[in-house]
């Protein structure tokens, strides 16, 4: 335990005093600030005449103001936080010759990797929580609505899912930093994997879906095509994350599936009943995605853990 | 008494895919000794040290450090052993005091005790003038002395020193050797000293072992090795001559 605490404190201190963290934090704070400001202005215009709006507070996060919403922004660029915090965590110590010194101290070897991972997760959590709090305060001032208890719970769940999502990418970059001796290699490899999984899988999903179940003309709707597309695009953690947060942050959504995959009764239900889902129901809808995301994060860390524990360290 | 032997290996072997780094190595180091661990580069000295620390798993054979099996109780062994690696690095953005305090916290030393020891050790290695200077601005000699202080902060019973004088100027090397000798004398620390600086090793070590190609080709006091090879006492031959003679024979 003492080794874990010592490594954790040192790493946390390193993160908060590093320029890369400050630059990253400034960038993300600025962008989220702008998007929520846009969303806020948008909301004020559109909700002005309505007497009873539903969950206006959450819309601060989910309404695309000009380009994208805060939620979409985290889905796109959140992984970058994880990658930047982790890509050199082990191989930098190796390159500087401090790793051998560290593990020749009377600590368990896993204290090194656990401490580093936990410190980075703590950094991510502090970053996200502070941004969400700032936006909330900002929203109070612009829109002038107070969040209800339900909305606060939804934001909390959203935060937890987001932390896991970014921690998944942290785990990936730490795994690469264990595999690759060279810092530049691990940075490039993790960025490449991020771009591939986030942006190219959805393109690939189209290709695969059209190959498996070709659609004749544009008008034709084939459920198999949509189903295959959904399945393939779930390989992307970004899609997984978007699905996992979809009904949490937007209570009006009742499902994560596209309309072509719904049965006739479900389609009628979706169009007839316009009331928001209760929190419990929202959670049930996205529960599979949430657990898959959390499992993915844990599996990724477990692989890094075992690789690191079994590796021979000479320098 | 059995506890008189601090380091003992029997048939210690380490095989990598296509080569044997350490080949049935057996040697003993008694308490309070400075053991000169000699051999050419790549002879397997560092691998042996890693196995003694439990950082590397032997393919065969057995190692004992203070009667503990480093493979089963690596943490206890690492509590007793201070290891100064050959090319050990430092966190450049910390200063000398912070570096030492980090090592102290890894060793579970209480905070107030740690700062006390830190200043004491910086005094001992002659860095008390550079307490608040960043390690990245240190010279090689200063870094080596700081590394020494890091190793000593846990009050080790044994020191594994892997090329401690590598790249140091003659004066720095001499002072480091004197420090090693005084630690051995005053604090009764057993030292496993791997070095190519044979002249210095001869001056301070009680016994030496020469390792070539993973095997210990000679072990004993310098006098006995000289006698074995040349039939005369230590006074006539330097360690360097003895070493070269062994080296050529292999």
HEC per residue, A240-294: HHHHHHHHHHCCCCCCCCCHHHCCHHHHHHHHHCCCCCCHHHHHHHHHHHHHHHH
How much is the pLDDT for A221? 67
**What is the DSSP code (8-state) at residue B163?**
S
Among candidate residues B175, B173, B191, B172, the one with its CA nearest the CA of residue B183? B191
The average pLDDT across B109-123 equals: 92
- Strands ordered across the beta sheet of B190-194: B81-84, B158-162, B190-194, B34-38, B207-212, B215-220
- The Cα of A305 is separated from the nearest Cα of chain B by a number of Å equal to 16
B112 domain-assigned: no
How much is the pLDDT for A46? 74
B119 domain-assigned: no
Asked if B88 lies within 8 A of A101 by C-beta distance, the reply is: yes
How much is the pLDDT for B223? 82
Asked if B89 lies within 8 A of A106 by C-beta distance, the reply is: no
Asked if B106 lies within 8 A of A103 by C-beta distance, the reply is: no
B1, pLDDT greater than 50? no
Nearest CA in chain A to B16: A312
| H or E segment to which residue A116 belongs | helix A109-142
Q: Which of A3, A6, A97 shows the shortest C-beta gap to B89?
A: A97
The mean pLDDT value of chain B amounts to 89
Asked if B90 lies within 8 A of A98 by C-beta distance, the reply is: yes
Task: Count up the domains in chain B and report the number.
Answer: 1
The domain that holds B70 is classified in CATH as 3.40.50.300
- The Cα of A282 is separated from the nearest Cα of chain B by a number of Å equal to 46
| Rounded Cα–Cα distance for residues A281 and A284 (Å) | 5
Asked if B89 lies within 8 A of A96 by C-beta distance, the reply is: yes
How much is the pLDDT for A190? 95
Q: Which of A20, A88, A104, A183 should one mutate to test binding to chain B, selecting the residue with the greatest count of B CBs within 10 A?
A: A104
B150 domain-assigned: no
Asked if B88 lies within 8 A of A9 by C-beta distance, the reply is: no
B178, pLDDT greater than 70? yes
CA distances (Å), origin A216, targets A89, A209, A211, A222, A225: 50, 13, 12, 9, 11
CB atoms within 10 A of CB B179: 17
Q: Are B50 and B85 in contact (CB under 8 A)?
A: no
B242, pLDDT greater than 70? yes
- The Cα of A104 is separated from the nearest Cα of chain B by a number of Å equal to 6
Q: Which residue has the tokens 């477990």?
A: A302
Tokens of A212: 């498996």
Within 8 A by CB and 6+ apart from B195, the residues are B36, B37, B38, B161, B163, B164, B165, B201
| Rounded Cα–Cα distance for residues B79 and A2 (Å) | 13
Q: Which of B89, B92, B104, B146 should one mutate to test binding to chain A, selecting the residue with the greatest count of A CBs within 10 A?
A: B89
How much is the pLDDT for B3? 62
Give me the total of CB pairs closer than 8 Å, taking one residue from chain A and one from chain B.
68
B170 domain-assigned: yes
Residues of B in contact with A10 (CB under 8 A): 102
- The Cα of A29 is separated from the nearest Cα of chain B by a number of Å equal to 27
Q: Which of A14, A312, A315 shows the shortest C-beta gap to B56?
A: A312
B214 domain-assigned: yes
How much is the pLDDT for A66? 64
Structural domain boundaries, residue B207: 2-88+157-249
How much is the pLDDT for A145? 76
Q: Are B158 and B190 in contact (CB under 8 A)?
A: yes
Q: Which of B53, B102, B105 shows the shortest C-beta gap to A104?
A: B53
Asked if B88 lies within 8 A of A97 by C-beta distance, the reply is: yes
Asked if B89 lies within 8 A of A312 by C-beta distance, the reply is: no
> Within chain A, which residues score under 70 in pLDDT?
48-54, 65-66, 217-221, 257-261, 315
Q: Which of B106, B107, B150 should one mutate to test binding to chain A, selecting the residue with the greatest count of A CBs within 10 A?
A: B106
| Rounded Cα–Cα distance for residues A35 and A199 (Å) | 21
B24 domain-assigned: yes
Asked if B102 lies within 8 A of A97 by C-beta distance, the reply is: no
| H or E segment to which residue B209 belongs | strand B207-212
Question: Interface of chain B against chain A, CB under 8 Å?
Answer: 46, 50, 53, 55-56, 75-76, 78-79, 81, 83, 85, 87-93, 102-103, 105-108, 150, 154
How much is the pLDDT for A30? 87
Q: Which of B90, B93, B107 shows the shortest C-beta gap to A105?
A: B107
Question: What are the tens digits of pLDDT across the range A286-295?
Answer: 888 999 999 9
- Percent of chain B at pLDDT exceeding 70: 97
The average pLDDT across B11-23 equals: 90
| Rounded Cα–Cα distance for residues B208 and B196 (Å) | 12
- The Cα of A89 is separated from the nearest Cα of chain B by a number of Å equal to 13
B59 domain-assigned: yes
B140 domain-assigned: no
């Amino acid at each position: 335990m003492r080794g874990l605490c010592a490594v954790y404190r040192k790493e946390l201190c390193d993160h908060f005093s590093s320029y890369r963290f400050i630059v990253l934090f400034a960038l993300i704070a600025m962008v989220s600030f702008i998007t929520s400001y846009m969303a806020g202005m948008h909301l004020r215009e559109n909700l002005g005449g309505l007497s009873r709006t539903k969950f206006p507070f959450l819309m601060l996060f989910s309404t695309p103001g000009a380009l994208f919403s805060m939620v979409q922004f985290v889905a796109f660029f959140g992984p970058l936080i994880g990658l930047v915090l982790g890509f050199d965590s082990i191989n930098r110590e190796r390159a500087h010759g401090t790793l051998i010194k560290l593990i020749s101290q009377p600590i368990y070897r896993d204290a090194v990797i656990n401490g580093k991972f936990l410190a980075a997760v703590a950094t991510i959590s502090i970053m996200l929580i502070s941004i969400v709090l700032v936006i909330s305060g900002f929203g109070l001032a612009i829109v002038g609505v107070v969040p209800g208890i339900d909305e606060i719970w939804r934001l909390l769940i959203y935060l937890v899912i987001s932390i896991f999502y970014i921690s998944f990418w942290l785990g990936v970059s730490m795994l690469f930093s264990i595999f690759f001796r060279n810092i530049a290699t691990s940075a490039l490899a993790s960025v490449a994997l991020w771009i591939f999984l986030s942006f190219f899988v959805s393109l690939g999903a189209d290709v695969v879906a059209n190959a498996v179940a070709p659609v004749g003309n544009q008008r034709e709707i084939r459920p198999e095509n949509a189903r295959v597309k959904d399945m393939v695009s779930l390989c992307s953690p970004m899609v997984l994350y978007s699905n996992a947060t979809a009904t949490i942050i937007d209570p009006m959504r009742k499902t994560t599936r596209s309309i072509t995959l719904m049965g006739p009764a479900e389609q009628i239900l979706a169009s007839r009943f316009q009331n928001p889902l209760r929190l419990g129901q929202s959670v049930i809808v996205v529960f599979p995605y949430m657990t898959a995301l959390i499992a993915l994060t844990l599996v990724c860390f477990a692989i890094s853990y075992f690789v690191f524990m079994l590796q021979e360290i000479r320098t | 008494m059995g506890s008189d032997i601090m380091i003992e290996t029997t048939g210690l072997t380490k095989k990598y895919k296509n080569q044997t780094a350490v080949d049935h190595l057996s040697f003993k180091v008694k308490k309070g000794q400075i053991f000169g661990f000699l051999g050419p580069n790549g002879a397997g000295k560092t691998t042996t040290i890693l196995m003694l620390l439990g950082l590397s798993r032997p393919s065969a054979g057995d190692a004992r450090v203070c009667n503990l099996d480093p493979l089963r109780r690596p943490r206890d062994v690492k509590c007793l052993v201070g290891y100064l690696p050959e090319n050990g690095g430092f966190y450049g953005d910390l200063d000398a005091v912070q570096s030492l305090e980090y090592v102290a916290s890894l060793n579970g030393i209480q905070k107030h005790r740690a700062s006390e020891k830190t200043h004491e050790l910086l005094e001992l290695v002659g860095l008390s003038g550079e307490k608040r200077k960043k390690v990245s601005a240190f010279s090689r000699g200063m870094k080596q002395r700081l590394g020494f202080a890091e190793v000593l902060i846990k009050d080790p019973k044994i020191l594994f020193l892997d090329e401690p004088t590598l790249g140091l100027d003659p004066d720095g090397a001499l002072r480091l050797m004197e420090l090693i000798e005084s630690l051995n004398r005053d604090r009764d620390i057993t030292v496993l000293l791997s070095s190519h600086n044979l002249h210095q090793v001869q001056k301070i070590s009680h016994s030496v072992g020469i390792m070539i190609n993973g095997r210990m080709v000679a072990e004993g006091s310098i006098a006995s090795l000289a006698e074995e090879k040349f039939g005369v006492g230590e006074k006539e031959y330097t360690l360097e001559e003895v070493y070269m003679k062994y080296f050529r024979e292999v």
